[in-house]
Amino acid sequence: MDLTTNGKVTPAISYNLSLSPYWNQIDSGPLQSGLGKRSLYSASSRANLNWQADKDDMLQLNAQAGGARLQAQGVQAPYFVLNAGWRHTINERTSLTLTGQDLAGTNRYRRDLETPILVEHLRDRPVSRQVQLRLDYRFGGGTSKPKPPADFDYGAGPGPG
């Protein structure tokens, strides 16, 4: 099941939230792990907050979280990552993008395996913190399609406020 909502806080600020709750059950009895049948309720989520500062500049915050997950011989721990980006349109074909990944330094992987003959505590901290600056230029045949009039409807149905 996925739960999603999106909308506008103001004409310049929009959001998108999603939540995916789940239930895991594993019967690891046949693996001789001694853990038997186990279950876990958890969820994964994502949140985006966009701010169209002006016609040429857009800022975005993105947060992702994943809940704990059962594995046959243990548990994979939850995680959280915060990213941000800024896009500046220079002209119709050129844009500049600055992104920061894992701003809070929280992207970690942790797994705990526990069996009668094996106990393993794996801790991994990937090198995912980075800042990227990108210049994009679109090649191609001519200018983009003309902008439709303000009252033009693409037929996508009602959108956020």
CA distance 51 to 60: 6
Higher pLDDT, 57 or 28: 57
Note whether residue 146 is domain-resident.
Answer: no
Average pLDDT of the chain to the nearest whole number: 82
User: Does pLDDT of 96 surpass 90?
Assistant: yes
In a domain, 112, yes or no: yes
User: Which pLDDT score is estimated for 144?
Assistant: 57
Residue 104 confidence (pLDDT) above 90: no
Q: How many domains does the chain have?
A: 1
Instruction: Return d(Cα 8, Cα 157) in angstroms, integer.
Output: 16
User: How much is the pLDDT for 53?
Assistant: 95
Question: Rounded to an integer, what distance in angstroms lies between the CA atom of residue 140 and that of residue 115?
Answer: 59
Provide the residue range defining the domain that includes 122: 3-137
At residue 120 the predicted structure's pLDDT band, cuts being 50, 70 and 90, is confident
Q: Is 145 a member of any domain?
A: no
Ramachandran region of residue 87, left (φ > 0), alpha (ψ -120 to 50) or beta? Answer: beta
Q: Is residue 118 domain-resident?
A: yes
Q: Would residue 59 count as lying in a domain?
A: yes
